[in-house]
Amino acid sequence: MVLCYYDIACVSKYAFNKSHAAAYAVVSYQTAYLKYYYPKEFMERNRKRNAGRRSYMNNRALALDALRGYAIITMVLSATIVTHVLPGWMSHAQTPPPDHVFNPLLPGITWVDLVFPFFLFAMGAAFPFSIRKRAEKGDSKLKLVYEAVKRGIQLTFFAIFIQHFYPYMLSSPQDIRAWLLAILCFAVLFPMFMRIPLKMPDWVHISIKVGAYIVAAIMLATTSYADGKTFSLFSSNIIILLLANMAIFGSILYIFTMHNRWMRLGILILLMAMIVGSTVDGSWTQSVFNYTPLPWMYRFDYLKYLFIVIPGSIAGEYLAEWMKAYQKETDDYATSPYRKMSIMLMILSVIIIIGNLYGLYTRNLVVNLVFTVLLLLAGKCIFPRKVDGIALLWRKLFNAGAYLLLLGLCFEPFQDGIKKDPTTFSYFFVTSGLAFLALLFLSIVCDYFRCVKSTRFLVMSGQNPMIAYVVGDLLIMPLANILGIASLLSYFQQNAWLGFLQGAILTSLAVLVTMFFTKIKWFWRT
């Protein structure tokens, strides 16, 4: 028995290695044989296998994340550049140089005026990936509505909380107290909107979240503000407040129309009639328009942004339908017959977006209209009669974008031209149309050519937009002031180039911090 055990032990020293090496030798010989005698078949199978693996592993709409990331990054950039030294097209069209005073009568749009609509569009495009997915898993409409309302309330609190702890709100001039409170606000937001990445019972996670809200409420109630001001519900970040309203009403509208796009669009027509009818003095539509049970949170006027959110939801459905079909395919589209078409569509989309920004800003309306129509017709000619796969997605995005853009240009003379504030119908339709084309461009870049490394900063920022939005004001600038670095920013206020460079530096820092938290999976979610 002892001798038998000894023999087995001696064999075990080399038997595994020998058998392992022999097995790999056989596999290597077979691979070499196939590659030598059947090179085309071998490479094709290997390519399809890898493409299929990528498609199954990638469950996110990278183009949508990239669009959201572009919107939030340019939002930060537009807020950090030195506006007063920049030309008019580098700021809102309604705040022209040299004084940069808001003029509600001035029509036109710039790239800055596309920032918020693109984010709203991306918000609507996320509905099919969040709401519809949960509905398919069995969640009732009542539960979905509850989640939508809860999300809206959380965003409303977020809007109020961050507004009260911007350093310029806390003291004038800003001091060490204001900077430290801003950093504390940023820290409190983590347990408030992030699930702690530790294994704990659900009740512990809930307790931490509730505790963070209690701390935030105490901070709001006990903090003194600049010029002797006190806490006010009416003091909130208007951008986040609008997003909160869209989170509630946009989600509810989608919940009850997720299987009926025509009904969704029909409700938008009713909304348009309500908005137009509200201009008639003494009408019931005006009474409904002006009524609000919570004036610090909701106004009927906020619902007009559904004209951007709802088209975004349709774009999201196009994406979801393609992704569902694409996960069953193994084609690598980057080597497909659509390669030349994709490059032409990329160039065409960029030209249409930039061309309309230039034409509407300079008010060359007729030239811009003719130019746009010709480009859209050229785009229609790019698509062959029959397309499938990702090319079908591109055609849907292009057709929807073309229609909305032309609709917006037709509305342009109405309401004294396209304006961001007060917003006009042409603004809603033009920006939605351009958002479709931007999503088309990013679909080609992210999903077709798979430019992962070059778009990573967009995608990662889009996956964590709440952090990206506030990190500059609540962390980077307070730290810069505490360290004495912020005083150097006065150097960038000398000319336009330096003014833009300031925005680029601060935005880059915000992106890097956001990418760091995204990489370690510290996400803020509502």
User: Do 14 and 86 fall into the same domain?
Assistant: no
Rounded to whole angstroms, what are the CA distances from 41 to 44, 51, 333? 5, 15, 18
Answer with the residue of higher pLDDT: 24 or 524.
524
User: Do 290 and 347 fall into the same domain?
Assistant: yes
Residue 146: predicted pLDDT? 96
User: Do 38 and 86 fall into the same domain?
Assistant: no
Whether 312 shows a pLDDT value over 60: the answer reads yes
User: Do 418 and 489 fall into the same domain?
Assistant: yes
Residue 274: predicted pLDDT? 95
Residue 89: predicted pLDDT? 87
Answer with the residue of higher pLDDT: 308 or 334.
308
User: Do 340 and 444 fall into the same domain?
Assistant: yes
Please report how many Cα atoms fall inside a 13 Å half-sphere around the Cα of residue 459, on the Cβ side: 18
> Is there a domain that residue 365 lies in?
yes
- Model pTM? 0.87
Three-state SS string over 258-312 comes to: CCCHHHHHHHHHHHHHHHHHCCCCCCHHHHHHHCCCCCCCCCHHHHHHHHHHHHH
Whether 336 shows a pLDDT value over 70: the answer reads no
> Is there a domain that residue 186 lies in?
yes
> Is there a domain that residue 504 lies in?
yes
User: Do 397 and 485 fall into the same domain?
Assistant: yes
Residue 473: predicted pLDDT? 96
Domain that holds residue 33: 2-53
Cα(192)–Cα(209) distance, rounded to whole angstroms? 5
> Is there a domain that residue 115 lies in?
yes
Residue type, 199: K
User: Do 176 and 242 fall into the same domain?
Assistant: yes
Find the helix or strand (DSSP H, E) in which 163 lies: helix 141-164
Answer whether 192's CB lies under 8 Å from 467's CB: no
> Residue 26: phi, psi to the nearest 5?
-65, -45
> Is there a domain that residue 152 lies in?
yes
* pLDDT (average), residues 131-157: 95
Domain count, the chain: 2
User: Do 446 and 335 fall into the same domain?
Assistant: yes
Residue 27: predicted pLDDT? 66
For the segment 248-268, what is each residue's pLDDT rounded down to a tens digit? Answer: 999 999 999 999 999 999 999
Cα(466)–Cα(458) distance, rounded to whole angstroms? 14
Long-range Cβ contacts of 384-387 (<8 Å, 24+ apart): 384/341, 387/338
Measuring CA to CA, which residue among 488, 457, 482 is closest to residue 181? 482
User: Do 35 and 81 fall into the same domain?
Assistant: no
User: Do 28 and 171 fall into the same domain?
Assistant: no
Which of 232-241, 331-340, 413-422, 425-434 shows the lowest mean pLDDT across its residues? 331-340
Instruction: Give the highest mean pLDDT range of 93-102, 328-337, 438-447.
Output: 438-447
> Is there a domain that residue 524 lies in?
no
Rounded to 10 degrees, the C-alpha dihedral 435/439/445/446 comes to 130
Residue 443: predicted pLDDT? 95
* pLDDT (average), residues 156-185: 95
Cα(211)–Cα(436) distance, rounded to whole angstroms? 41
> Is there a domain that residue 525 lies in?
no
Question: In whole angstroms, what separates CA 478 from the centre of its chain?
Answer: 26
Cα(429)–Cα(264) distance, rounded to whole angstroms? 16
User: Do 354 and 484 fall into the same domain?
Assistant: yes
Three-state SS string over 199-245 comes to: CCCHHHHHHHHHHHHHHHHHHHHHCCCHHHCCCCCCCCCHHHHHHHH
pLDDT cut 90: percent of the chain above it: 71
Answer whether 464's CB lies under 8 Å from 524's CB: yes
Residue that finishes a domain, picked among 32, 53, 74: 53
> Residue 331: phi, psi to the nearest 5?
-70, 140
User: Do 83 and 26 fall into the same domain?
Assistant: no
Residue 202: predicted pLDDT? 87
